[in-house]
Amino acid sequence: MSKNEYLFSPQRRRGNTAVHGENLCESLCNLCVSVVKMFSLLAILTFSACSSISNENRTKITFWHGMESGINNKVLQAKIDEFNARHPDILIDAQVYGAADQLGPKLDAAVAGKTPPDLLWWSPAFFPKYADAGVLKNIDEFLTHDVRNDVYDYLWELGSFQGKIYVTPFSANNLGVYYNKQMLNEVGITQPPQTWDEFKDAAKKLTRNGVFGFQVPIGTSEWTVWTWQCFLWQAGGELLTLDKTQAAFNSPAGVAALDFWKSLSDEKVANFSETDAGYKTDNILSNRIAMTINGPWNYADLKSQTNIGVFALPKKDRAATNIGGESLFLFKTNERRERAAWEFMKFLMSADFQVDWAMNTGYLPVSKSAANSPRYQEFLQANPFIKAYNDQMPSGKTRPSIPQYPALSQTLGKYLEAALYGKLSSKEALDKAAAEVNALLK
Amino acid sequence: MNSRKDNLMAYLFLLPACLLLGVFVLYPLLQLLWVSLNEWNILKDQMTFVGVKNYQAILAEDGFRQALLNTIYYVAVTVPLGMAVSLGLALLLNDKLRGVGFLRTAVFTPFVTSTVAAGVIFIWLMDYDRGLVNAALNWLGISRINFLQSDQWAMPAVILMTVWKQAGYNMILFLAGLQSIPEMYYEAAAIDGAKRGWQTFRYITWPLLWPTTFFVLVISIIFAFRSFEQMFVMTRGGPVGSTTTLVYYIFDKAFKFGNMGHAAAISTLMVLIVLLITWLQFRGQKEFEM
C-alpha cells in the first residue's frame, strides 16, 4: 500500500509533468491516485473475503439443479443439509436454474465464460456435447466396483461417451399418460386404452363439454421430441441408424407416429399445448383436457389430486416409453473440488438417498439395492401412480448419447411443429428434418 | 502554442466518451464482423476462418427469409400503429383536465412494467377459453380466437402487446412536443376563422410537431427491430416460426444451435438494414424540410 502511494504520489509525478497543461495533468494525476486507492481497497476487501472462506476450511461445491416442484426442492434441500452436516469439510451450495428445457443457453454462456457449476443436474441426453468440448470430468477413475454393479447398466450406457463414463444417474423416469379418473368413468372407460386405436377412441369419447380428450405437446424444445420418440418406437421406428451417423426417423414408422398425433388434433379430439409447455400440469388439473403425457416427477405435487391416475403409453407394433431422468455432470476444476463433488455424487447414488428420494418425490430409483429394498417395494404396492411407471421400465428405450443431440432435437422439433400445423405433410417434414440432421451428424 | 493547448484539452475532454464508445460499441462491432467470418465453437473456444461462408449459408436458408419477412411485418405494423395510438393519447391528455396527471401516469405505467411480467399477463388475457379478450369477443358475438397458438394470430397478439407497452413512452415525447407549440398560432388561426379540431391539427399541430414525430419514428423503428422479450415470453418465436423475428432468430442460432458464426452474420446484416433505414429516414427528413 505504502509503495503504491509513493509510486503514484502527486509529488513525484509533478516533477515529470510536461510544460503544457500542467494544471490539468496534475488534476488527472490526483484522479489516478484516488482510483488506485479505490482499487487497493477493493483488493484488500476481496482478499479478506477469500481468507474468511478458507478459514472455514470447507470445499464449496456449487450444485445447479432445475427442480421446479416446491415439494421436491424442500426434500432435496433437507438431504443436502444432512450431507453438509455429515461432511464438515464440504459445503454443497444448491442453486435452482429454472426449467430444464431452457437450460442450454444458460449453461453454454456459463461454460464459455469459464464459470460453470461444479455439479449440474440435467438430462443425460445433453452431456455428450459438453464431454466432446472437454469440459466434463471423466469419472471412471472415481467409480468403485460396488457402485458400478449396484446401479442399472442401462444408466451407465446412457452416461457413456466414446467408451468413457461422464455422468452419474441421479434419478430415473419415463413417460406415461395422466388421466382424469372421473372423466373416464363418466364415459364408461374402465380399462386403460392399450393400443393407438383404443387410445384415439378414448380421446373421442372424452372430448365433450369443451374438454379435449388429449393434448398434443407443441414446441421446438426437447419435450415435444422426447415424447414423440415414444410413438416413433411404438410404430417400430428408430431415431437414428444403428451406427448413429444418419437420421432414421423419416421412415414409414415416423410418418405413422406423426400422422397419429396430427389425426388427434385434426379430428378435434386433442388440443395443442402452449408452445414449449407440454409438460405443465395446469390443463389437466383444471379439467380442460382428460389425458396428457407426463412423468412421475409430479407425484409429490399431485398427491392431493386423487382424481389423476396414470396408465402406460399405448402401443402399436410394440410398447415403448422414453427413459429419462436426471444425471449429474461433473465439470473439470481441480482435484480437491472434483473429489469433494464426487463424495456428494456417491451420496446421491446410495440406497439411503435413493429410497428416501423416490418415496418422497416419485422419481424412480437408479440402483438395484434401492429398487429391491423392502421399504420401496412396499411403497410401490401402495402407490399405483408410481407403479405404472415402474412397470413400464422394461419397455423403455433411451435417446442416443451424441454431442449433436441438442441441435438434432431443435431441428426435429421445428419440423414436427410444421407438420402438426399443417404447413408440411408428415413425410415432407420428416424428410426435411432428416436432411438437416444428417448435415449436423457429419 | 495556445491553440495546441486548447486542442489537447479538447481531446482530453473527448477521451472518456471515445473510450466508452470504443470499448462498448466499436470494439464489439468489429468483433462481431470478425466472428461472422469464422466458425466459432464457444464451448471449445475454437475459431476457424471460413470467409463469407456463413453469409452464403444464411442467405440460402428458409428460416432466415421467414425471420426477415416476420421482422418487416412486425415493424411495418407496430411503428405506425404505435405512433398513431400514442399521438392520439397525447392529444387527448394535452388539455389541463382534472386528473390528467393520473391518466398520464396510468398510460405511462406499462412502459416501466417489465416486459416479461406484461407478457405473462397477456398470455392470460389472450387465453383461448379463459382469457378476458376472448370472453369479450364471445360477448360481442365474435367467435373465439386462439391467439398465441395460431400462426396467423400470434404476431398480431405480440404487436398489440408491444403497442400497449410502448404507447406511454411515445406519448410523453409527443406531449413535450405539443407543449412546445406556442399558443399564439392557435389564437391567430382562431381569429382567421379556423375551427379548432381537424383544421388546426392539420395546419398547425402536425407541421410544428414534425421534429418530435420524426424522432419518435426513428426510435420506434429501432426499438421495433430490437424486440425480443415479447416473443421470448409470449410465443417462443412460434407457432411454426411465425413470430421468429431477426433478433429471435439470432438468439436461436447462437444459443440453441450454438452456431455463433451464423448468428454473427445475421447480426451484421441486421446492423446494415437498420443503418440503411436510418440513412433513408434522415435523407427523407432533409427533403421534407426543404
Residue among A135, A274, A421 minimizing CB distance to B151: A421
Give domain A176-322+404-441's CATH number out of 3.40.250.10, 3.90.660.10, 3.40.718.10, 3.40.190.10.
3.40.190.10
Tens-digit pLDDT profile for residues A186-196: 999 999 999 99
> Could you tell me which residues come within 8 angstroms of residue B43 by beta carbon, excluding any fewer than 6 positions away?
A108, A111, A112, A129, A130, A133, A135, B258
Contacts of B43 in chain A (CB under 8 A): 108, 111-112, 129-130, 133, 135
User: How far apart are the C-alpha atoms of A188 and A373, rounded to whole Å?
Assistant: 38
User: How far apart are the C-alpha atoms of B159 and B220, rounded to whole Å?
Assistant: 13
CATH number at residue B174: 1.10.3720.10
A207 contacts A213 by C-beta, under 8 angstroms:
yes
A385 contacts A299 by C-beta, under 8 angstroms:
yes
pLDDT at residue B109 greater than cutoff 60 = yes
Say what the alpha-carbon torsion angle B268, B273, B278, B283 is, to the nearest 10 degrees. Answer: 130
A90 contacts A343 by C-beta, under 8 angstroms:
yes
Residue B285 lies in a domain: yes
Cα–Cα nearest to A36, from A3, A80, A73, A72: A3
Residue B245 lies in a domain: yes
How buried is A52 (Cβ within 10 angstroms: 0-12 exposed, 13-18 middle, 19+ buried)? exposed
Domain locations in chain A as residue ranges = 2-55, 58-170+324-397, 176-322+404-441
CB of B286 less than 8 A from some CB of A:
no
Residue type, A151: V
CB of B14 less than 8 A from some CB of A:
no
Helical packing angle, A252-266 and A426-441, nearest 10°: 130
The residues with which A160 forms a beta bridge, in sequence order, are A165
DSSP-derived 3-state class of residue A274:
coil
> Average per-residue pLDDT in chain A?
87
Residue B82 lies in a domain: yes
Tens-digit pLDDT profile for residues B193-217: 887 788 888 888 999 999 899 989 9
Q: How far is CA B17 from the centre of its chain?
A: 25
DSSP-derived 3-state class of residue A331:
strand
Query: Taking CB atoms and an 8 Å limit, are B239 and A421 in contact across chains?
Result: yes
CA distances from A380 to A364, A391, A427, B171 (A): 10, 10, 42, 63
User: How far apart are the C-alpha atoms of B29 and B92, rounded to whole Å?
Assistant: 42
Tell me if ipTM is over 0.90.
Answer: no
Q: Which residue has the cell 464489439?
A: B28
Q: How many domains does chain B have?
A: 1
CB of B110 less than 8 A from some CB of A:
no
A406 contacts A128 by C-beta, under 8 angstroms:
no
CA distance A218 to chain B (A): 8
> Could you tell me which residues come within 8 angstroms of residue B275 by beta carbon, excluding any fewer than 6 positions away?
none
> Could you tell me which residues come within 8 angstroms of residue B150 by beta carbon, excluding any fewer than 6 positions away?
B239
Residue B45 lies in a domain: no
Residue A354 confidence class, pLDDT cut points 50, 70, 90: very high
Cα–Cα nearest to B246, from B68, B75, B79, B69: B68
A348 contacts A170 by C-beta, under 8 angstroms:
yes
CA distances from B119 to A43, A105, A259, A441, B230 (A): 42, 21, 33, 37, 6
Residue A9 confidence class, pLDDT cut points 50, 70, 90: very low
- Is the Cα dihedral A112, A113, A114, A116 positive or negative? negative
| A291 phi, psi to nearest 5 deg | -140, 145
CB of B41 less than 8 A from some CB of A:
yes
A88 contacts A146 by C-beta, under 8 angstroms:
no
Query: Taking CB atoms and an 8 Å limit, are B236 and A275 in contact across chains?
Result: yes
Residue B38 lies in a domain: no
Q: What is the CATH number of domain A58-170+324-397?
A: 3.40.190.10
Q: Containing domain of residue B278, as a range?
A: 54-289
- Strands, E, within A295-440: which ranges? 308-311, 321-322, 324-330, 396-397
Residue among A108, A221, A417 minimizing CB distance to B240: A417
Mean pLDDT of A283-287: 91
Pairing of strands A289-294, A176-180: antiparallel
For Cα atoms B117, B120, B122, give the angle at the middle one, nearest 5 degrees.
110
Structure-block grid coordinates of residue A167: 455422468
Residue B19 lies in a domain: no
Q: Which helix (H) or strand (E) holds A180?
A: strand A176-180
pLDDT at residue A10 greater than cutoff 50 = no
Contacts of B256 in chain A (CB under 8 A): 104-105, 406-407, 410
Tens-digit pLDDT profile for residues A138-159: 999 999 999 999 998 889 988 9
CB of A418 less than 8 A from some CB of B:
yes
Q: Counting one residue from A and one from B, how many pairs have CB atoms under 8 Å apart? A: 75
CB of B257 less than 8 A from some CB of A:
yes
Query: Taking CB atoms and an 8 Å limit, are B149 and A272 in contact across chains?
Result: yes
Residue B89 lies in a domain: yes
Judge whether A58-170+324-397 and A176-322+404-441 match in fold.
Answer: yes
Mean pLDDT of B217-231: 91
DSSP A365: P
CA distance A268 to chain B (A): 14
CB of B255 less than 8 A from some CB of A:
yes
Tens-digit pLDDT profile for residues A37-56: 555 555 555 544 444 444 46
Residue type, A193: P
- pTM for this prediction: 0.81
Residue A6 confidence class, pLDDT cut points 50, 70, 90: very low
Cis before A384 (ω within 30):
no
CA distance A346 to chain B (A): 28
User: How far apart are the C-alpha atoms of A69 and A98, rounded to whole Å?
Assistant: 10
Residue B30 lies in a domain: no
Q: Which residue has the cell 476462418?
A: B49
